[in-house]
Structure 1
Amino acid sequence: MRRKLVATLAATALVSGLVTACSSEQTHGDKPLVLTTFTILADMAQQVAGDAVDVRSITAPGAEIHGYDPTPSDMAAASDADLVLSNGLGLEHWLDKLLTHSTANRVVATDGIEPISIENTNTPNPHAWMSPALAKVYVDNIINALARLQPESAETFRSNGDHYKQQLEEVDRQLNEGLSSLPQNKRTLVTCEGAFSYLTREAHMHEGYIWPVNSNKEITPSQIRNAAAFTTHHQVPAVFCESTVEPGPHEQLMRETGAADGGTLYVDSLSAPDGPVPTFLDLISYDVNTIVDGLKK
């Protein structure tokens, strides 16, 4: 049975000096306030903005994003925002509730990305940030949004964003070079959740998973059987699981297929500053290296 691990972190300090927007009493001086829906977007925006604006995330490091429920203090904080950055693609079903009292401009960071539907649905998979190639689209949308918000800093935003995109391009290069060293039959990624559909599409990999998206439902025997059949058919040497998922289904899949443990992957949230993935660049680099190393087993 799968249960999502809901983080209980109460820290108000967010990665890279960002502060979680947990109170309407927080002040941001003369700088515009940019509010993001989760920590990954906050870090991206901070890399582009530098010190020009105040960037905050509604959710804390380690929090589960899919089923988040904004608190009254979250909604009060949102009423002070000048700009709200969301992922879109159906991730933040709670966004309208959050912005009940907000007049801030809204920008969807995935604009321009071709969505991938969740298996057997017409609902888009929201995890486009997990492709280092597509993460650059996020950065472009953030650059443009910040430039509209604060035109006098537009050149700084573009310069910061271009540097950041170069770093993401390097991660993408490492992914593709690592995969090119593997036999074709090993270029298949199997995870607990189908959170890597965009990465596998952009990297020309096959993708398998136990379940397509996080939910409160129990794992069914047929889901394990299907994942095991896929893993065996593609001769997958190692299978992976996300940090927010209990190990039971992953361990069962390994027992039924003989596949090795590829490692833990990080998806929906950054860690605390002293954790393994305190920035998005750390997260995507960590996952890419873990995937390539795991598939070499």
Structure 2
Amino acid sequence: MRGSRALLLVVAIMFGATPLHAEGRLNVVASFSIIADFVKNVGGERVKVTSLVGPNGDVHVYTPAPQDAKTIADAQLVVINGLGLDGWLPRLLQSSGSKAVVVTASEGVSPLKLGSQADPHAWQSVGNAQIYVKNIRDALAQADVGDADYFRQNAARYLAELDALDREVRNGVDQIPAERRKVISSHRAFGYFAKAYGIAFIAPLGVSTETEPSARDVAAIIAQVKKDKIPAVFLENITDDRLMRRIAEETGVKVGGTLYSDSLTDEKGPVATYIALVRHNIKALTSALGR
């Protein structure tokens, strides 16, 4: 038996196969946890997925570690969000010498604009998440033709789950009186959600958590909360909550809970998957905004 294994290893080395090829799994690196979850759902047991930005990490301000260059160098596919979100990745790819195929999951999304910037948080619309999944499906099928049907079947199942999720969100929003469909959140991560589902989000931070609001910005938001009688302030899992609690205190508006924007939790947390993230957010919104 040992001799057979040794012979297989010699053959693999002779033909340039890596251990991951020998295992029959694609080595895929995702820029952050939500993308990684999409890849896992489509790739199943035929892929090995690594997320550079881990659970509860902030992709906007991530600083790559030396180990990330090796992780990228060993990858066959690198799946990124695009739309300016993972702007630190091109330099990392260059420094790693990676030969991986780079897949932009948001390709085909109609981007929202905030001034000159594209809003990168396209996955907040379940319809856009389906575009991500289709792009990932096609990339995996092209990279591993032998497992293409397997990837397509997984994608079809997952896309059906996302269809049901989209209906779930719309049904939840229908429970909220129209005049109460407005909230304050930390940064402008929910523009696509707002457009798709009709809840207005106001945020003191821009599309990136790197930005800092001025005193004038905060004062203007406090005035708007009072004027428009906004029902709830929401915290986010990736941002410091002190500013949002200050706005809540100065306006008397209740804190409606925590919304998950740019990151999943670990497996033991409340939003270990994209579907769990969307369900958590719509439940928090309907609970805080419904009468």
* TM-score, scaled relative to structure 1: 0.85
Tell me the equivalent position of 2:109: 113
Tell me the equivalent position of 2:142: 148
Return the alpha-carbon distance in structure 1 between the equivalents of residues 39 and 136 of structure 2.
Answer: 6
Cα RMSD, aligned residues only: 1.8
> Is residue 172 of structure 1 aligned with residue 170 of structure 2?
no
3-state SS of 1:256 partner: helix
Return the alpha-carbon distance in structure 1 between the equivalents of residues 171 and 237 of structure 2.
Answer: 25
> Is residue 42 of structure 1 aligned with residue 36 of structure 2?
yes
Q: Deviations 1:231-256 (Å, cap 9, x if unpaired)?
A: 23332211212112222111121123
Return the alpha-carbon distance in structure 2 between the equivalents of residues 289 and 208 of structure 1.
Answer: 19
Cα–Cα, structure 1 residues 232 and 174, in superposed 2: closer, same or farther, change >3 Å?
A: farther
Return the alpha-carbon distance in structure 2 between the equivalents of residues 27 and 36 of structure 1.
Answer: 20
Greater helix proportion: 2
Return the alpha-carbon distance in structure 2 between the equivalents of residues 113 and 70 of structure 1.
Answer: 27
Cα–Cα, structure 1 residues 252 and 115, in superposed 2: closer, same or farther, change >3 Å?
A: same
Q: 2:289 aligns with which of 280, 287, 295?
A: 295
> Is residue 205 of structure 1 aligned with residue 199 of structure 2?
yes
Decide whether the 8 Å contact of 1:37 with 1:87 is kept in 2.
yes
Tell me the equivalent position of 1:196: 190
Q: Deviations 1:164-186 (Å, cap 9, x if unpaired)?
A: 12222222212211222222111
Return the alpha-carbon distance in structure 1 between the equivalents of residues 193 and 218 of structure 2.
Answer: 23
Tell me the equivalent position of 2:99: 103
Q: Kindly, what percent of the aligned residue pairs are identical?
A: 32
Decide whether the 8 Å contact of 1:239 with 1:261 is kept in 2.
yes
What is the identity, as a one-letter code, of the residue corresponding to 2:90? D
By how many angstroms is 1:133 displaced? 2.2
Decide whether the 8 Å contact of 1:194 with 1:211 is kept in 2.
yes
* TM-score, scaled relative to structure 2: 0.87
> Is residue 246 of structure 1 aligned with residue 269 of structure 2?
no
Return the alpha-carbon distance in structure 2 between the equivalents of residues 232 and 35 of structure 1.
Answer: 45
By how many angstroms is 1:216 displaced? 4.2
Cα–Cα, structure 1 residues 177 and 217, in superposed 2: closer, same or farther, change >3 Å?
A: closer
What is the identity, as a one-letter code, of the residue corresponding to 1:31? R
Q: Which has the larger radius of gyration?
A: 2
Q: 1:231 aligns with which of 225, 245, 260?
A: 225
Show structure 1 runs of 5+ residues with no match.
1-25
Return the alpha-carbon distance in structure 1 between the equivalents of residues 19 and 72 of structure 2.
Answer: 12
Return the alpha-carbon distance in structure 1 between the equivalents of residues 183 and 156 of structure 2.
Answer: 30
Higher normalized contact order (CA 8 Å, seq sep 6+, divided by chain length)? 1
Cα–Cα, structure 1 residues 125 and 32, in superposed 2: closer, same or farther, change >3 Å?
A: same
Return the alpha-carbon distance in structure 1 between the equivalents of residues 188 and 19 of structure 2.
Answer: 39
> Is residue 85 of structure 1 aligned with residue 79 of structure 2?
yes
Return the alpha-carbon distance in structure 1 between the equivalents of residues 226 and 107 of structure 2.
Answer: 37
